[in-house]
């Protein structure tokens, strides 16, 4: 399938990323190319807009031509927005995005629920304003006027920011930290996967080496950060429960031996895939004090599970959930994906009905994200983007289902290229919120991350953030573990 192209000509460098993200939000099915000065090499595909953006002394001009082979059919529009010399870069960027948004909303005849906001952490804006003492009405009108966000999304993000602020108030920002451990292995690779994940079967023989490397990182953390308060621990991936029960026992035992868990508020392990869960493994997690786990169906339709390569059934999800309850877990999360191939409102409603019967403690509703490099990307090339169908209706069905299970929204993030340009929302019952999830989004506390492909973030008191990443390749990670540790030592010193 030939990809549709939109060409954008920009006469000033420095805004390519912002322009690209916003145009792409209007045309998720198209390849958007932003050229800076010079000649553009290609024109937009017929029927799509060819866009030019020019910075004048006191304004930005936007030209749009609807590309057509019949030249006489071409429509040209010129638009402008005033700017001033004294404006900071962020203000100029806002003006530029407002201009693009206004023109493309008219061109497409529709508005985007998140307006000009294309970043992954929209709740950071209301969170910062709440911390500055602004009231809700002021924040909402600022978000609507500046970013053209819909009232509904504005209210949702403020509601979540208020809850996050309260939940995070119990953490130790200055003298505490959180810990992430990545287990980048899965039983099979899901169609849409964009994470660091490798089939477990290829790595079983080298698990001893991987665990040794992790233990080295844990020992370093204890030596270097052991005097600080450990607030939350999250073991994710991949699928941590692809480890055998003895391997999990060894890892968690070592972790608890080396680090002080006396202040830990939340200890999560993603049990994720039903095809990796056994009673023995769940008992090991329970034995070492894991407080929160995920059993993620993504959908309650066998046909879709097969299509997305999960290789487990709905029945297995129900059995894994029942097993987790039997073993005594009282905080179980379930992840769903809305907009999966072949699924619309009816299928999502059915999934929600099934999930309600299980009654998990929290639910994370993701909008399918289309990542280049995932198998889904190739699937779309074969089947067309119209086979994916995420809508307001499916988002509302998930939100309504969560509400009926007595859950409230408590964290939110967006990804690039989401089906329907929506968001991912975490819902939970009172007292069952996933604090680590909020931390990742709001970036308020240092998170030390161990394992292949993980990223450590140091958050300074003034809000600055510095990162260092571990290599994604598992062999390299094992081989260069001392180097990974040295990078962390440097970052955290
Ligand atoms: S379970 Fe998650 S990490 Fe593993 S393959 Fe599927 S999407 Fe990727």
Q: How are beta strands 76-82 and 59-66 bridged, if at all? A: antiparallel
Hey, what CATH topology would domain 170-483 get?
pyruvate-formate lyase- activating enzyme (3.80.30)
Q: Whose CA is nearest to atom 5 of ligand 1?
A: 189
Residues 6+ apart with CB under 8 A from 338: 348, 365, 366, 367, 368, 390, 394, 395, 398, 419, 422
Return the ligand 1 atom nearest residue 188 CA: 5
Instruction: Pick from 196, 237, 243 the residue to mutate for probing ligand 1's pocket: most ligand atoms within 8 Å of its CB.
Output: 237
314 Cβ inside 6 Å of ligand 1: no
Q: Return per-residue pLDDT of the chain as tens, 493 residues.
A: 457 889 999 998 999 999 999 999 898 878 899 999 766 667 788 888 889 899 998 999 998 887 765 654 455 578 999 999 899 999 999 999 999 999 999 989 999 999 999 988 999 999 999 999 999 999 999 999 999 999 999 999 999 999 999 999 999 988 999 999 999 999 999 998 888 899 999 999 999 999 999 999 999 999 999 999 999 999 999 999 999 999 999 999 999 999 999 999 999 999 989 999 999 999 999 999 999 999 999 999 999 999 999 989 999 999 999 999 999 999 999 999 999 998 999 999 999 999 999 999 999 999 988 777 788 888 887 887 777 777 889 999 999 999 999 999 999 998 877 766 789 999 999 999 999 999 998 899 999 999 999 999 999 999 899 999 999 999 999 999 999 999 999 999 9
Q: Name the class of domain 1-109.
A: alpha beta
Integer Cα distance of 78 and 146 in angstroms: 22
Residue 60 CA to ligand 1 centre (angstroms): 43
Closest CA to 365 of 343, 394, 327, 326: 394
Residue 209 CA to ligand 1 centre (angstroms): 22
Q: State how far the alpha carbon of 227 is from the alpha carbons of 221, 249, 258, 261, 484, in Å.
A: 10, 25, 12, 12, 21
Closest CA to 410 of 395, 387, 429, 383: 429
221 Cβ inside 6 Å of ligand 1: no
DSSP code per residue over 261-314: -TT-SEEEEEEE-GGG--HHHHHHHHHTT--EEEE--B-S-HHHHHHTT----H
0.85 surpassed by pTM: yes
* First vs last C-alpha separation in the chain: 51
Return the ligand 1 atom nearest residue 272 CA: 1
Integer Cα distance of 125 and 180 in angstroms: 25
Residue 198 CA to ligand 1 centre (angstroms): 9
Q: Whose CA is nearest to atom 8 of ligand 1?
A: 193
Length of the chain, in residues? 493
Residues 6+ apart with CB under 8 A from 247: 207, 211
User: What is the predicted pLDDT for the residue at 41?
Assistant: 65
Q: Helix, strand or coil for residue 65? A: strand
Q: How are beta strands 198-199 and 424-429 bridged, if at all? A: unpaired
Q: Which residues of 396-407 are buried (b: 16+ CB within 10 A; e: fewer)?
A: ebbbebbeebeb
Q: Could you tell me the residue ranges of all domains in the chain? A: 1-109, 111-161, 170-483
Residue 304 CA to ligand 1 centre (angstroms): 15
Integer Cα distance of 188 and 101 in angstroms: 40
Integer Cα distance of 129 and 478 in angstroms: 43
């Amino acid at each position: 399938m030939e990809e549709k192209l939109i060409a954008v000509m920009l006469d000033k460098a420095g805004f390519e990323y912002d322009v690209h993200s916003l145009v792409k939000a209007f045309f998720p099915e198209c390849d958007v190319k932003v050229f800076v000065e010079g000649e553009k090499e290609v024109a937009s595909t017929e029927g799509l807009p060819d866009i030019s953006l020019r910075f004048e002394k006191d304004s930005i001009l936007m030209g749009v031509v609807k590309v057509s082979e019949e030249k006489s059919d071409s429509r040209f529009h010129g638009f402008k927005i005033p700017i001033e010399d004294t404006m900071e870069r962020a203000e100029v960027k806002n003006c530029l995005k407002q201009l693009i948004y206004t023109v493309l909303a008219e061109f497409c005849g529709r508005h985007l629920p998140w307006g000009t906001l294309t970043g992954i952490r929209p709740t950071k804006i209301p969170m910062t304003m709440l911390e500055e003492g602004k009231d809700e009405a002021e924040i909402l009108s600022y978000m609507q006027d500046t970013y053209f966000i819909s009232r509904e999304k504005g209210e949702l993000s403020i509601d979540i920011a208020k809850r996050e602020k309260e939940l995070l108030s119990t953490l130790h920002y200055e003298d505490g930290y959180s810990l992430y451990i990545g287990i980048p292995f899965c039983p099979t690779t899901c169609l849409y996967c964009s994470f660091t994940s490798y089939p477990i079967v290829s790595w079983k023989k080298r698990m001893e080496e991987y665990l040794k490397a992790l233990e080295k990182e844990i020992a370093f953390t204890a030596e270097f950060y052991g005097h600080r308060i450990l607030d939350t621990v999250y073991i994710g991936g991949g699928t941590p429960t692809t480890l055998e029960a003895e391997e999990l026992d060894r890892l968690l035992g070592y972790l608890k031996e080396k680090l002080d868990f006396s202040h830990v508020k939340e200890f999560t392990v993603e049990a994720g895939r039903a095809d990796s869960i056994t009673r023995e493994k769940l008992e090991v997690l329970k034995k070492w004090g894991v407080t929160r786990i995920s059993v993620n169906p993504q959908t309650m339709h066998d046909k879709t599970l097969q299509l997305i390569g999960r290789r487990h059934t709905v029945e297995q999800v129900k059995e894994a959930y029942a097993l987790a309850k039997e073993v005594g877990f009282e905080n179980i999360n379930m992840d769903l994906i809305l907009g999966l191939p072949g699924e619309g409102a009816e299928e999502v409603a059915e999934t929600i009905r099934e999930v309600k019967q299980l009654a998990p403690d929290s639910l994370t509703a993701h909008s399918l994200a289309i990542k280049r490099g995932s198998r889904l990307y190739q699937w779309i090339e074969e089947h067309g983007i119209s086979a994916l169908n995420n809508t307001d209706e499916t988002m509302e069905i998930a939100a309504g289902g969560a509400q009926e299970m007595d859950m409230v929204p408590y964290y939110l993030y967006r990804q690039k290229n989401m089906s329907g340009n929506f968001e991912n929302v975490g819902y939970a019952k009172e007292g069952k919120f996933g604090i680590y999830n909020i931390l990742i989004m709001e970036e308020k506390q240092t998170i030390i991350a161990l394992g292949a492909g993980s990223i450590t973030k140091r958050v300074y008191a003034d809000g600055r953030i510095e990162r260092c990443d571990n290599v994604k390749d598992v062999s390299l990670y094992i081989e260069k573990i001392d180097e990974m540790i040295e990078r962390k030592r440097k970052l955290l010193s």
